[in-house]
Amino acid sequence: MNNNSNFLIILVGLPASGKSTFALKLKKKLESNFQKKVKIIDPDIIRGIAFPNSFDFKNEPQIREKNIQSVRIHLTKGQIVISDDLNYYSSMRHDLKLIADSLNIKFYIVHISTPLKICLKRNEERGKPIPNKVIQNIYNKFDNFNKYKWDTPFETYDITQTSDEIQFLEILSNKIALNFKEQQKGKESLKKKHSPSIREKLDLITRKYVGELLKNPKYQMSKDTILEFRKLFIKSRANEELDVNKIIEAFKLYLNKKLKV
């Protein structure tokens, strides 16, 4: 694989839905399948390091900012990134999409859709690090998918439906690889179609210009010479990256000089 062979996984799920557990397993799977470093960005870890002693709402904007910055930094390094955040607002997912778009890389939303009841139970089992009320609240505010075309889960992991987690990870990883390859192919054919070589550009633009010029009877007499000069001009400029206007200007000057008009 060539440039931009990394991508972003956007996990979405309630607290205690199993995101961090899933992220670790997915990291292992992707690292072995893609031969690339996978970085998990978990705001809980960022918070724990920056503010180890207590939870304070006033720190949250700073943590969000740091979270977003970390995603960008690791993607820029070429790593595969898993955003292990709640991402329950569409706007949170959009922030991440913007990063991926700006770096021209793909993102995949994976919804860990563990039912609320199970999340509450798990939360209790692990000693209620978050009040159950908060989880209920997040559940109520959760932005549903599909309001925007981009905001659609690539895959949904529902433990009440999926019994074989290993198989799920395998399928997910393969699906990403396949999607990724298709995208690369798409990019290449787009390149071929839409970015002509300098030579092709020169050829097209000067041909058009000469076509117009030769409508003038004054130039008809030197038609063969002009056509020959056109060829020579293309040869002499084939290594320069010029925009359309500059090509026309340069060609005009070139012809005037050669024809001494």
21 binds ligand ADP (CB under 6 A): yes
222 binds Mg ion (CB under 5 A): no
Per the listing, tokens 């056109």 go with 230
> Which token pair is 13?
């799920």
CA distance 68 to 64: 6
87 binds ligand ADP (CB under 6 A): no
- C-alpha 219, offset from chain centre: 52
Among 122, 155, 184, 254, binds ligand ADP (CB under 6 A): 122
128 neighbors 28 (Cβ within 8 angstroms) = no
Buried b (16+ CB within 10 A) or exposed e, 164-184: eeeebbeebbeebeeebeeeb
CB of 48 to ligand ADP, least distance (A): 13
CA distance 159 to 155: 13
CB of 20 to ligand ADP, least distance (A): 3
222 binds ligand ADP (CB under 6 A): no
Nearer to ligand ADP, 60 or 188 (CB): 60
Rg over CA atoms, the chain: 28
- Give the DSSP H/E element, type plus range, for residue 74: helix 60-76
121 binds ligand ADP (CB under 6 A): no
Question: How many contiguous H segments (helices) and E segments (strands) does the chain have?
Answer: 11, 5
- Give the single-character DSSP code of 58: G
Among 63, 116, 159, 198, binds ligand ADP (CB under 6 A): 159
43 binds ligand ADP (CB under 6 A): no
Nearer to ligand ADP, 19 or 97 (CB): 19
- Give the single-character DSSP code of 18: S
Among 2, 6, 16, 20, binds Mg ion (CB under 5 A): 20
Nearer to ligand ADP, 73 or 159 (CB): 159
Among 6, 9, 17, 83, binds ligand ADP (CB under 6 A): 17
29 binds ligand ADP (CB under 6 A): no
Count of residues in contact with ligand ADP, rule CB under 6 A: 11
251 neighbors 233 (Cβ within 8 angstroms) = yes
CB of 157 to ligand ADP, least distance (A): 9
Task: Give the interface with ligand ADP as residue ranges (CB under 6 A).
Answer: 13, 15-21, 122, 126, 159
